[in-house]
Amino acid sequence: MFGRRRGAAVRQAMEGTPRADYLPEEARDRAGIDAPVAIGHEATCSQPTTVRTMLELLDVRPGQRVLDVGSGSGWTTAILARLVGPGGSVVGVDVVPELVEDAAARLRRDGLDHAAVRVAGEGELGAPEAAPFDRILVSAMARDLPRPLVDQLADDGLMVLPLEGRLVTVTRVDGEPRVEPAPGWYRFVPLQGS
Question: Could you tell me if residue 191 is inside a domain?
Answer: no
Half-sphere exposure for 135 (CA within 13 Å, toward CB)? 25
Answer with the residue of higher pLDDT: 194 or 16.
16
Mean pLDDT across the stretch 68-74?
96
pLDDT tens digits, one per residue of 101-153: 999 999 999 999 999 999 998 889 999 999 999 999 999 889 999 999 999 99
H helix intervals, the chain = 2-15, 48-58, 75-84, 97-109, 147-150
Question: Could you tell me if residue 190 is inside a domain?
Answer: no
Active-site residue, 89 included? no
Question: Could you tell me if residue 192 is inside a domain?
Answer: no
The secondary structure element, H or E, covering residue 169 is strand 166-173
pLDDT tens digits, one per residue of 73-99: 999 999 999 999 999 999 999 999 999
Question: Could you tell me if residue 189 is inside a domain?
Answer: no
Domain harbouring 94, CATH code: 3.40.50.150
Question: Could you tell me if residue 120 is inside a domain?
Answer: yes
Question: Could you tell me if residue 126 is inside a domain?
Answer: yes
**Count of domains forming the chain:** 1
From the candidates 46, 71, 89, 139, give the one annotated as an active-site residue.
46
What domain range includes position 92?
A: 2-181
